[in-house]
């Protein structure tokens, strides 16, 4: 017997004496079905490059979606004792689904389902669905841009060039630089500074509340500026600066409602305050659009008219000579198009004349402007298409703005500020 054969024989003999121990079954598992954050990686652009600002970090689901399922435990593998008897293997331990807020376990106990729309949160094995997305460390390349159908709360800063789009409220407990915050149905609050640097923007259907804003574009229902707003382009239905030392300076503020301000303007800069009636402004914009279309259609009609004159001149020279079929067909198309263009012009003219009549029927429209503190620098008011330079002596007064009468001192107490 060779040395290798002797070793093999010895091993078999040892195994027979000791037996084969059983192998316990594998424990059951909770298998997550939803796509976990970061699984998909960066989004690919059409040119093949990767967009690392689109990381799909939010696991977002709809009500009724499958979140997790149970994987049953394994049966294990039986062993044998030294006498050849069977040693039964213990089965694996079954797993348990842990249902958190916004989820429910199915009737058969095998799956976990979402009870509402929202973001999936897994914490200590408990799976929840929340209508509020909380980001503990800000928004940057770790998270990518945020697109969420509920409310977003950011504990930290929003890095340059990143976007937060939400259906509900957005709260940023920090600063944002060169970012975009968009709430389609709620409010936006930035407790720190929003430094747009000419490319950042805020857009909200409801209220925007901000401590400091600089070189940003802001569009919102109402605006509250707690400390300062510098060189911003703003469109709002109402603006308030509630604190005595709050200041708006530089840029352009377009307000369709009441403006209650503290300090306005600064030395060495131009500040433009534009107060408008929204209904009137919308009608004027529509009239301008119709007139622009009318001008384009006139140019088309004039060109067609020149072609028709050329055709008529050709017919006069040809006399009884037959016109080539192609020329006759072109002349027919040109005549039909000219008639259509004339009808378009008549309709456009009728539409903007009707808008003029509606504008005349509006009558006097009034808004109010309160400047509780000082006015400095070059501050221009554009009040319902009537311009006025607001001088420093006008500070600390409240005005009624009338389309027919301009700026009227209301002789009323100014807005109390903190």
d(CA 308, CA 300) in angstroms, rounded, equals 12
Tens of pLDDT, residues 205-246? 999 999 999 999 999 999 999 999 999 999 999 999 999 899
Specify the pLDDT at position 416: 46
Sequence-separated (6 or more) residues with CB below 8 Å from residue 207: 187, 188, 220, 221, 222, 223, 224
For every residue of 238-307, DSSP letters joined together read -EE--STT-EEEEEEEEESS-EEESEE--TT-EEEEEE--HHHHHHHHHHHHHHHHHHHHHHHHHHHHHH
pLDDT at 247: 95
Could you read off the pLDDT of 349-369 as tens digits, one per residue? Answer: 889 889 888 888 777 777 888
Q: pLDDT digit of tens for each residue in the chain (418 aa)? A: 455 554 444 444 444 456 788 888 888 899 988 766 545 555 666 666 655 566 667 788 889 899 999 999 988 888 888 888 888 888 889 988 989 999 999 988 899 999 999 889 888 889 999 999 999 889 998 888 899 989 999 999 999 999 999 999 999 999 999 999 999 999 999 999 999 988 999 999 999 999 999 999 999 999 999 999 999 999 999 999 999 899 999 999 999 988 999 999 998 899 999 988 888 888 888 999 999 999 999 999 999 889 888 888 877 777 656 777 888 888 888 889 989 999 999 999 889 889 888 888 777 777 888 888 888 889 998 887 678 888 877 777 788 887 777 777 765 555 444 5
| Percentage helix, strand, coil for the chain under 3-state DSSP, each rounded to 5 | 25, 35, 40
């Amino acid at each position: 017997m060779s040395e290798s054969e002797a070793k093999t024989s010895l091993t078999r003999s040892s195994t027979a004496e000791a037996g084969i121990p059983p192998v316990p079954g594998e424990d059951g598992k909770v298998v997550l079905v939803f796509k976990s954050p970061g699984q998909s990686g960066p989004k690919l652009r059409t040119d093949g490059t990767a967009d690392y600002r689109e990381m799909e970090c939010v696991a977002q689901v709809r009500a009724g979606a499958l979140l997790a399922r149970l994987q049953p435990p394994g049966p294990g593998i039986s062993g044998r004792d030294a006498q050849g008897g069977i040693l039964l293997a213990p089965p694996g331990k079954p797993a348990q689904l842990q249902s958190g807020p916004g989820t429910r376990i199915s009737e058969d106990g095998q799956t976990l389902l979402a009870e509402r729309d929202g973001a999936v949160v897994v914490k200590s094995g408990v799976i929840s669905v929340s209508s509020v997305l909380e980001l503990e460390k800000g928004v940057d390349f770790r998270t990518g841009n945020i697109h969420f159908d509920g409310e977003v709360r950011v504990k930290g800063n929003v890095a340059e060039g990143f976007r937060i789009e939400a259906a509900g409220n957005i709260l940023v407990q920090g600063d944002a630089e060169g970012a975009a915050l968009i709430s389609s149905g709620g409010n936006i609050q930035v407790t720190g500074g929003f430094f747009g640097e000419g490319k950042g923007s805020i857009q909200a259907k409801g209220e925007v509340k901000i401590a400091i804003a600089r070189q940003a574009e802001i569009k919102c229902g109402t605006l509250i500026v707690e400390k300062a707003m510098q060189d911003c382009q703003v469109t709002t239905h109402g603006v308030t600066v509630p604190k005595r030392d709050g200041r708006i300076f530089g840029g352009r503020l377009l307000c369709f409602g009441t403006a209650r301000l503290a300090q306005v303007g600064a030395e060495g800069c131009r500040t433009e305050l534009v107060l408008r009636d929204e209904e009137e402004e919308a009608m004027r914009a529509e009239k301008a659009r119709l007139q622009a279309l009318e001008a384009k259609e006139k140019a088309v009609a004039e060109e067609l008219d020149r072609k028709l004159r050329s055709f008529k001149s050709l017919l006069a020279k040809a006399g009884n000579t037959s016109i080539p079929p192609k020329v006759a067909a072109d002349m027919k198309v040109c005549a039909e198009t000219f008639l259509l263009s004339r009808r378009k012009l008549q309709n456009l003219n009728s539409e903007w004349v009707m808008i003029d009549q509606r504008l005349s029927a509006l009558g006097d429209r009034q808004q109010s402007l309160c400047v509780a503190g000082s006015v400095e620098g070059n501050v221009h008011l554009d009040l319902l298409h009537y311009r006025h330079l607001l001088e420093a002596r006008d500070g600390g007064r409240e005005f009624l703005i009338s389309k027919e009468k301009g700026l009227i001192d209301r002789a009323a107490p100014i807005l109390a500020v903190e």
